[in-house]
Amino acid sequence: MPTVLITGASRGIGREFARQYEAGGWRVIATCRDPAAYDLEGEVFRLDVTDPSGIAALRRELDGEGIDLLINNAGIHGPRDSHLGAIDYGAWEEVLATNVLGPIRVAEIFAELVERSNLKKMVFISSRMGSIGENTSGGSYIYRSSKAGLNMAVASLAIDLYGRGIVCLLFHPGWVRTDMGGASAPIDAATSVAGMRAVIDRARGADNGRFFNYDGKELPW
């Protein structure tokens, strides 16, 4: 039975990953800031990706395990009105800590457990709003920069971990009907996650470090 560890699993895309992998017969290790908010079966652990000591504690608790698939899903949007003249720099720091430092810290601390597994895959939920090549409208300084930062960090991570047999993938999940995406988003979480799972399943070494749309289309940096 393969094992998946998912951050931010109590709602939205993270919860749907947990639901689909559980239905597929995987062992799901769900993590979130409030385990009481997790409403699926299986293992759930408290984890805040901005808390280094908490990540290290979970790593110790899972010592000896193999994590076939690590999904770094946890993230926040921050203030949506972040145009020039209305930038909250304190909020910017919080978003960068959650969306960039958090996933890389989790990946670094759990890399040994992923390397120990059979599948050896890491997934990072990014956004096409982090694509410099696709930014033709400006604005959204906080969220855009956090996802662009994550993309660059994972591009380096993919190179550094490849020699250990680990494949790293970045995804834009689409505009999804979640608390973050809002009720008017055109894609439901089940469709988004099913698409990403298909890409994850077939990913091999040649896909390491690539940035995909949820439907498998490659996206520009």
CATH match for 3-213 among 1.20.1430.10, 3.30.420.40, 2.60.120.10, 3.40.50.720: 3.40.50.720
Q: Does the structure show a pLDDT above 90 at 182?
A: no
* Strand partners for 71: 6, 123
Q: In whole numbers, what is the pLDDT of the chain averaged over residues?
A: 96
Q: Where are the domains of the chain?
A: 3-213
Q: Is 118 exposed, middle or buried (0-12, 13-18, 19+ CB in 10 A)?
A: exposed
Q: With beta carbons less than 8 A apart as the criterion, state whether 78 and 94 touch.
A: yes
Query: Mean pLDDT, to the nearest integer, of 181-190?
Result: 84
pLDDT at 181: 73
What mean pLDDT is predicted for residues 17-25?
98
Q: Across residues 21-28, what is the average pLDDT? A: 98
Share above pLDDT 70 across residues of the chain, in percent, rounded to a whole number: 100
pLDDT exceeds cutoff 90 at 101: yes
Percent of the chain scoring above 90 in pLDDT: 90
Prediction pTM value = 0.96
Output 174-182 pairs: Cβ under 8 A, ≥24 positions apart: 174/213, 174/214, 174/215, 176/12, 176/13, 178/11, 178/12, 178/13, 179/11, 179/12, 180/12, 180/76, 180/77, 181/12
Lowest mean pLDDT among 12-26, 71-85, 92-106, 199-213: 71-85
pLDDT at 180 over 90: no
Q: Is the pLDDT of residue 112 over 80?
A: yes
pLDDT confidence of residue 185: 76
